[in-house]
Chains A and B, each alone.
Chain A
Amino acid sequence: MYAYDEIDRTLVNERVSEFRDQVQRRLSGELTEDEFKSLRLMNGVYLQLHAYMLRIAIPYGTLSSPQMRKLAHVARRYDRGYGHFTTRQNIQYNWIKLSELPDALEDLASVGIHGMQTSGNCIRNITTDQWAGVAPGEIEDPRIWAEILRQYSTMHPEFSFLPRKFKIAITASENDRAAIKVHDIGLRIKKNEQGETGFEVLVGGGLGRTPFIGKTIKEFISHRDILSYVEAILRVYNQYGRRDNIYKARIKILVHELGIEKFAQEVEEEWLQMRDGVLALDDVVVEDIRSRFSYPNYQKLSDNPDELKAAAADPRFAMWLGNSVAPHRVPGYSIVTLSLKPVGMPPGDATADQMDAIADLAEKYSFGEIRVGHEQNLALPNVAKRDLPALWRALDKIGVATPNVNLITDIIACPGLDYCSLANARSIPIAQELTKRFANPDLAKLIGKLHINISGCINACGHHHVGHIGILGVEKNNEEFYQITIGGRADEQAEVGTLIGPAVPYAEVADVIEDIVEAYLALRARPDEVFVEAVKRLGVTPFKERVYATR
């Protein structure tokens, strides 16, 4: 965990006090809504269909137990007793009052969390692998660099009014769990031949109306130069990114229109003029940041303890163990994913009581640390294997032990038309129906790894383009219709899915998905040929034929 010091805390408090003043000026009429809108967005406050929505950043997806309890407190005191974890390591509250927002933010500030830069045309919450620091084979903990970038980007004097929002993600693992290829800047930590840490830099990835997979702009940049290089990219974007059309304002469009070579050349020219300037990172600074990350005092424990052997006889436990528990870099420990996708419930939602219980369990079993992943699940990153049976019973009791991680019911979905003022169609009821259709855990296991992503509009908050099956809500003559894509993926082999045919009405979506899954089960070469690989081999035609033959 990164420990905020007095300096970090002061800034958050100063921001809350500024926002309190801005809210006051809005409520008194001194600020018009037009003037206030940019200010509230800079603090994560949106207006949705029924109320204001507050989005809180969880930098690089790491939370302490006290922070989680404070999130629960805000849900209970200022909202309706629950919150929604998003695809960008944020949490959203859906029913918050403008007049109470400064108080809610002040409460959150007491544990060092805030809504700064969770919206607006600035550098958003820096995200990373939810298994950072604990995944086996990781090059180094990417959170050090996420924190350096968090500090660099917070209230940036030059880049707080960019053409459009700007998202940065970092990974240090072979297996990309941070979806870096669909970010404005994606960073992959690597070592060069001399063993020096640096980054492969990708730029111009993104979803939304015009999806692009990020392109490599720099094969290797030394860690010393990462801030100056990022600044060079941002400066070129700030100057030349389009501001005439909101749908063409993201950096992906600039990169696409200029071409990656030309864009890279612009960045290089800018960078060469500043690389040895004040942003060059000296080791003292990096070590100072690194020193404020504390790591658990791991014990020497058995990798196959008696407690685990004894519990394996329980088939429910065994199923959960096989599904939701991943290897840890330290023997005797595991990473446990907490599914926020129970059958029939909105994906990613957690109640205040669940949050409190998870905070307690993290203290008891995971050195007080909780992670939030872009798949809208939580994780306890440091669980001793001998504690797994006891932890499972406790998680099961509060409803976060559904053994469906990475399976067909582990659906990623945006809030959709039930909450969102931008949405054209609902997302959550589609997800609920699908989890009911595939509720049988044996069936889900038989189908294997399959990510369904649902977005209620073209803005793609549910990342439908990169779902193995993507579902996009559209409106046709006042009715909800859904376009289905297949073959997308968000990992290191990121790919935009292919549309299988005309949109289908709301009532038929679940049937269509069932058809696609049946076709896959009939056509897959082997049981371990996962869905997305089968689509790659077969193309969309057999799936399309199956779906539209009778429609």
Chain B
Amino acid sequence: MTSPLQQKIKISGPSIVTANRTGDGVVIYRTGEKSWSARIADASVVRNADEARALLSEAVADDVGAIGAYIAPVDVIEGKIEPGNLREHIRSEGLTIPLLPVPA
């Protein structure tokens, strides 16, 4: 497998690093405090390839805590971080469909 760090890093706008938590698979975002958060609002936003590489490197180094870290686009609107594409919207906000009704 090619390490994500060996791939060419190219970003076209504000970006974050995201992954899934090893123990339960929950979507997580790399923060500026060298840790992870389940809230996209806590994500560290990078704006050029060097910053992105640095953030991804430290994320990938945490192989025990997180799986499959990668760079994802975001929009920063009035200081609020919004997912930059549909896939990331779904990862951040959940299914676009109702779950089957589960009786209480």
Contacts and interface: CB of A to CB of B under 8 A. Distances in A.
Interface of A: 26-29, 32-34, 47-52, 80-82, 96-99, 345-346, 349-353, 417-419, 426, 428-429, 432, 478, 480
Interface in B1-42: 1, 20, 22-27
A478 B99 contact: no
Which secondary structure dominates chain B's binding surface? loop
B56 to A, nearest CB: 15
Contacts of B20: 47, 51
Q: Is the interface of A mostly helix, strand, loop or mixed?
A: mixed
Given A29-B63, A80-B102, A50 B25 contact: yes
A419 B96 CA distance: 10
A276 to B, nearest CB: 42
A29 B87 contact: no
A49 B100 contact: no
A32 B24 contact: no
B77 interface: no
Contacts of B87: 49, 417
Given A27-B22, A47-B20, A82-B102, 15 more contacts: A28-B64, A29-B64, A33-B22, A33-B68, A47-B67, A50-B26, A50-B27, A50-B94, A51-B25, A52-B24, A96-B25, A349-B100, A353-B102, A429-B97, A480-B86
B63 A51 contact: no
A423 B36 CA distance: 25
Contact of B100 (A26, A345, A417): A345
Contacts of B95: 418-419
A417 B88 CA distance: 10
B23 A418 contact: no
A429 B96 contact: yes
Contacts of A52: 24-25
A28 B24 CA distance: 14
Contacts, number: 78
A32 B102 contact: no
A82 B100 contact: yes
Contact of B25 (A28, A33, A47, A81): A47
Contacts of B24: 51-52, 97-99
A331 to B, nearest CB: 37
Contact of B23 (A47, A80, A97): A97
A49 B90 contact: yes
B51 to A, nearest CB: 23
B82 to A, nearest CB: 14
B97 A26 contact: no
B85 interface: yes
B103 A33 contact: no
Which interface residue of B67, B90, B97 has the most chain A CB atoms within 10 A?
Answer: B97
B96 A50 contact: no
Contacts of A26: 22
Contacts of A51: 20, 24-26
B67 A33 contact: yes
16 contacts: A27-B64, A48-B25, A51-B25, A81-B102, A97-B24, A97-B25, A98-B23, A346-B100, A349-B100, A351-B102, A353-B103, A417-B90, A418-B95, A428-B97, A429-B96, A480-B86
Contacts of B99: 80, 82
Contacts of A345: 100
B27 to A, nearest CB: 6
A50 B99 CA distance: 14
A426 B94 CA distance: 13
A27 B24 CA distance: 11
A49 B70 CA distance: 13
Contacts of B86: 417, 478, 480
A463 B12 CA distance: 35
Central interface residue in B68, B85, B90, B100, by most chain A CB within 10 Å: B100
Indicate the member of A48, A49, A97, A480 with the most B CB atoms within 10 Å. A49
A47 B68 contact: yes
B47 interface: no
4 shortest A-B CB distances, which residue pairs? A51-B25, A81-B102, A29-B64, A97-B24
A51 B22 CA distance: 9
Contacts of A419: 95
A352 B99 CA distance: 13
A58 B100 CA distance: 22
Interface string B63-79: 11001100000000000
A426 B96 contact: yes
B97 A49 contact: no
Contacts of B27: 49-50
Contacts of B94: 50
